[in-house]
Amino acid sequence: MPRCAPYLIPVCCALLLQWLPLPALADPKLVIYPGDAPRYAEYIELLRTALDRTSTDYGPYVLKPADQDMNEARFLVEARSGTLINVVWSATSIEKEKTLLPVRIPLEKGLLGYRIGLIRAGSQARFDQVKTAQDLLPFEFGLGPGWGDIDVYQAAGFKVQLAPYEELFAMTAFGRFDYFSRGVNEVFAEFDVRQSQTPNLEIEQGILLHYPYPFYFFVTPTDPKLAERIERGLQRMLADGSFDLIFHKYNNAAIKRANFSKRRLIELPNRNLPPQTPLRDARLWYRPR
């Protein structure tokens, strides 16, 4: 087998480096996201696929969850420095878009803005009387600290009680508040998992709340190239259909169980939407039939 003469080795190496694409020479990009809880599975698959779609442009990556458990309020703060975590998912707001880099492609196509409540068993009759947002004023709502829609409920005049996510289910069952608001994409899986341990928990049957609620990937402001990469990957997924395939994979069963046509739609305004929200791009939003 012919060998390269010793004096030609530097020349050969220089030529090889010119032929290799730049991303192949880079260290893998470390992408750290909030955690591996089952309710995050869709976001993680979207993120991984977006990074895969851009490997030829931006190079290899390593995707891993944060080393520390964090609630949403904490991981939003940590993402500002990018030290412990550099990508998060959250509902957008004017304030968040000032402190983090938004990737303005709604995860779950805005389905999270369609809300169905978990309620205490035996309280359905009270909700059967509800026809308008005004009718909900006597009710108290349960939400988690740092959640992006707290302002939506408070601006509508509703009473809100905050508690850690895992505690909200038992608190609902015990009647500590009236309505634990969940996205259509969340409520059925959560109820199925907890039904046996929390028998006093029920799914409310007649109301569908809705407010525009874009849920984005947000990237630490110290890494605009990562935000650019994720957006490019998601745009490619929208173009090749893989974004919608992931949406249907995770959400079709819940959409069917929601039985939209049998529910009374109550619209609530979201006054915290930034003006750049792409509300007119029909590719990005799910609309119930």
65 and 128 in a single domain? The answer is no
My answer on whether 152 and 229 are in the same domain is: no
pLDDT at 253: 95
pLDDT of residue 25: 57
Please answer whether residues 260 and 288 qualify as being in contact, where contact means their C-beta atoms are separated by less than 8 angstroms: yes
Q: Which amino acid is at 61?
A: Y
Enter the DSSP assignment of 6: G
Within-domain flag for 182: yes
**How many domains does the chain contain in total?**
2
Give the pLDDT of residue 148: 83
- Residue 240 inside a domain? The answer is yes
Please state, as a whole number, how many other Cβ atoms lie within 10 Å of the Cβ of residue 18: 7
Residue 52 neighbours by CB under 8 Å, 6+ apart: 233
- Give a yes or no: residue 32 inside a domain: yes
Residue 245 lies in a domain: yes
243 and 190 inside one domain: no
Rounded-to-integer distance, Cα 112 and Cα 107, Å: 9
The confidence score (pLDDT) of residue 72 equals: 86
- The pLDDT tens digits of the residues spanning 4-40 come to 555 554 544 444 445 555 455 568 999 999 999 888 9
Same domain, 106 and 143: no
Q: Is residue 264 part of a domain?
A: no
The answer on 140 and 85 residing in a single domain is no
pLDDT in tens, 90-132: 999 999 999 999 999 999 999 999 999 999 999 999 999 999 9
Eight-state DSSP code of residue 196: T
Same domain for 100 and 149: no
Domain shared by 203 and 171, yes or no: yes
Does residue 261 form part of some domain? Answer: no
Instruction: Say if residue 233 is in the same domain as residue 100.
Output: yes
Q: Which among 210, 238, 264 is the end of a domain?
A: 210
Residues of the chain with pLDDT under 70: 1-26
Let me know if residue 49 belongs to a domain: yes
DSSP string, 199-254: TTEEE--SEEEE----EEEEE-TT-HHHHHHHHHHHHHHHHHTHHHHHHHHHHHHH
Longest alpha-carbon distance in the chain: 89
We report the CATH number of the domain holding residue 140 as 3.40.190.10
Task: Kindly state whether residue 73 falls inside one of the protein's structural domains.
Answer: yes
Instruction: Judge if 37 and 58 occupy the same domain.
Output: yes
**How much is the pLDDT for 147?**
87
248: domain range?
Answer: 9-110+214-256+273-284
pTM of model > 0.85: no
- β-pairing, 264-267 vs 207-210, is parallel
State whether 233 and 91 are in the same domain: yes
